[in-house]
Amino acid sequence: MNKAVYNNHLSLTPIIHDWVKQLLANPESLQQAVERFQSPLNIHCLTPFQENIIAYSNVFNELHVKHKVFFARKANKCIAFPQAAAQQGQGADTASYRELKQCLDSGIHPDNLVLTGAVKNENLLSLAVDHQVTIVLDNYDEWNLLKKICTEKQKKVTVNIRLGGFQFEGKTLATRFGFSLDEAVTFIQHLQNNKDLVEFTGLHFHLNGYSVEQRVAAIEQSVQLIDCLQALNIPTFSLDIGGGILMNYLENASEWEEFNKELKRAILGERPEITYQNDPLGIIKIENQLYGEPTVYPYYNTLNKEQLLKAILTSKSAVFQQPIYKLLNDRNIELRMEPGRSLLDQCGVTVAKVAFRRKDTNGNWLFGLEMNRTQLRSSSADFLLDPIHVPKEIKEENEATYGYLVGAYCLEQEFILKRKIAFKQFPQVGDLIVIPNTAGYMMHFFESEAHMFELANNVIYDNGNFVMDNTSD
């Protein structure tokens, strides 16, 4: 491939924070870090995390909304993030015994923690009760277990109630979580009869997807429930709207549109493939007709993070004929949220070493990395942004090439990225590949130790220094 062709390839240019630019400007120090901590290495930075918290807080402050942001720790396991959130007066949402225990052990005050885990066994609930961490109850069995624990321990704990099954455009939003609004009234009244064991303080929901309108509807219906409870003399102090606030990975709308258009053309055989073996990334082809869209995260979007929060809060409630933030302020409700991915925007990169180059039977170049695909995996069918090649040696020759990144597991499907990648310079053994913006879900959510490979190390980058995060303590 010559340079002109390289310049024409379908790029998906990632947005890069200044700390990553600083990292890339010093390839020797990056090489040394990978030698020291092994490949792949997850490098994190707290600066963008702090900026992201401030951006959300600014929106709340501007609208005078009482608030608290709980970082959803499931999106990244490093303890440095919950600690940073707590230091900024916010908190962390925990989903398992180890997530909660580690936060407590690291000195985070229980008021800055909430337990939302999808499965809460006796150990986990007992830990929350012992430390007075607010528990979000999702079902009756959980409540029965909590009741038993509180009775045995003669201790009382604060609970919030998870809601589900909101109405939107004439239909129920399907979910496997929470109590319906009707069930919730009965259940919360029942909790009032157990005031020696639990104190009800708030409502909670987390919606699938990223819709502003659905969140507005869910808040509106939660406020109706709050009013109904108030009429029964049951006060509500907080409403937690969970996570699912979009973030934007890409610089350019036109690149994103072009990629999506060309993917469809490739699947229809109208152009050469742009994914390995023409992987349709979730689009279905039947008799030369395409159905559906790629099952990938919307990597480019204009309404995201704090603007998306502002759009929710300033939307006018059709039921109350008032903006959402006013409904909350009038009732003195603390709005809580649990962003995971969006708080981690720009907070981490994954770096891996090139181990081999070879061709497959079809003549495609494969670049083998010292990592496996579980170390860059989310529910999205592919991570659609360009990786950054950091060669050990810059070469002037015109040796741009296309190829695919493959990993260490023994499967034919072991591709780090399914998308065909263009390299300005032919990768050499020992070169580094930096995958930007991986802190949210990409690096930890599905990582596994198959073949007995060790999990990747996690370091925090601070002014040129790399310090281990004591995640595995």
Least distance between ligand PLP and beta carbon 111 (Å) = 18
User: Alpha-carbon distance 227 to 230, whole Å?
Assistant: 5
Identify residues 70-129 at the interface with ligand PLP (CB under 6 A).
72, 75, 93, 116
Please state the closest distance from residue 339 (CB atom) to ligand PLP, in A. 4
CB 116 to ligand PLP: min, Å: 4
Q: How far is the CB of 425 from ligand PLP (least distance, A)?
A: 36
Nearer to ligand PLP (CB atom), residue 125 or residue 433: 125
444 binds ligand PLP (CB under 6 A): no
Q: Could you say whether residue 164 binds ligand PLP (CB under 6 A)?
A: no
What residues contact 338, with CB distance under 8 A and at least 6 apart? 69, 70, 71, 72, 93, 114, 116, 206, 240, 241, 242, 243
Looking at the Cβ atoms of 342 and 425, the one nearer to ligand PLP is 342
Measured from the CB atom, the residue of 76 and 275 that comes closer to ligand PLP is 76
Nearer to ligand PLP, 39 or 76 (CB): 76
With CB under 6 A as the contact rule, which of the stretches 32-40, 81-89, 243-251, 406-414 interacts with ligand PLP? 243-251
Q: Which stretch binds ligand PLP (CB under 6 A): 266-274, 336-344, 376-384, 426-434?
A: 336-344
Q: Is 342 in the site for ligand PLP (CB under 6 A)?
A: yes
Q: Which listed range, 56-64, 339-347, 398-406, 444-452, lies at the site for ligand PLP (CB under 6 A)?
A: 339-347
Question: Cβ 42 to ligand PLP, closest distance in Å?
Answer: 17
Closest CB 246 distance from ligand PLP, rounded Å: 9
What letter represents residue 88's amino acid?
A: Q
Question: Which amino acid would we find at residue 327?
Answer: L
Q: Which residue's CB is nearer to ligand PLP, number 146 or number 245? A: 245
CA 301-305-310 angle, 5° bins: 110
Site string for ligand PLP, 315-334 (x = CB under 6 A): --------------------
C-alpha distance from residue 228 to each of 87, 186, 221, 352 (Å): 36, 11, 11, 55
Per rule CB under 6 A, is residue 437 in the interface with ligand PLP? Answer: no
Taking contact as CB under 6 A, which single stretch among the options 18-26, 37-45, 242-250, 457-465 is the one that binds ligand PLP?
Answer: 242-250
Q: Does 206 bind ligand PLP (CB under 6 A)?
A: yes
DSSP assignments along 35-76, one per residue: HHH-SSEEEE-HHHHHHHHHHHHHHHHHTT--EEEEEEGGG-
Q: Does 222 bind ligand PLP (CB under 6 A)?
A: no
Interaction of residue 178 with ligand PLP, rule CB under 6 A: no
How far CA 372 is from CA of 272, 421, 423, 433, in Å, comes to 27, 17, 20, 13
The rounded distance, in Å, linking the Cα atoms of 184 and 229 is 10
Candidate ranges 105-113, 237-245, 420-428, 449-457; the one touching ligand PLP (CB under 6 A): 237-245
Q: Which C-beta is closer to ligand PLP: that of 165 or that of 339? A: 339
Give the distance from CA 297 to its chain's centroid: 11
Q: Can you tell me the distance from the alpha carbon of 258 to that of 300, in angstroms, rounded to the nearest whole number?
A: 12
CB of 267 vs ligand PLP, minimal distance in Å: 28
Per CB under 6 A, the list member of 243, 348, 403, 407 interacting with ligand PLP is: 243
Nearest-approach distance from CB 17 to ligand PLP, in angstroms: 19
The strand pairing partners of 72, in sequence order, are: 93
| 305 scored as a contact of ligand PLP (CB under 6 A) | no
Give the binding-site size for ligand PLP (rule: CB under 6 A): 14
CA distances from residue 113 to 83, 92, 97, 319 in whole angstroms, order as listed:
11, 5, 13, 33
Minimum CB distance to ligand PLP, residue 331 (Å):
23
HSE-up of residue 140 (Cα within 13 Å, Cβ side): 6
Q: 383: closest CA among 225, 208, 249?
A: 249
The number of residues making up the chain comes to 473
Q: Collect all residues with Cβ–Cβ distance below 8 Å to 4 and sequence separation of at least 6.
A: none
DSSP-derived secondary structure for 358-425: EE-TTS-EEEEESS-GGGG--SSSS--S--EEE-SS---S---EEEEEE-SSSSTT-BS-SB-EEESS
CB of 277 to ligand PLP, least distance (A): 30
Secondary structure class of 276 (helix, strand, coil):
helix
Please report how close the Cβ of residue 441 comes to ligand PLP at its closest, in angstroms.
Answer: 7
Helix axes 97-105, 122-131, angle to 10 degrees: 30
Residue nearest to ligand PLP (CB): 243
Which chain residues interact with ligand PLP by CB under 6 A?
72, 75, 93, 116, 206, 242-245, 338-342
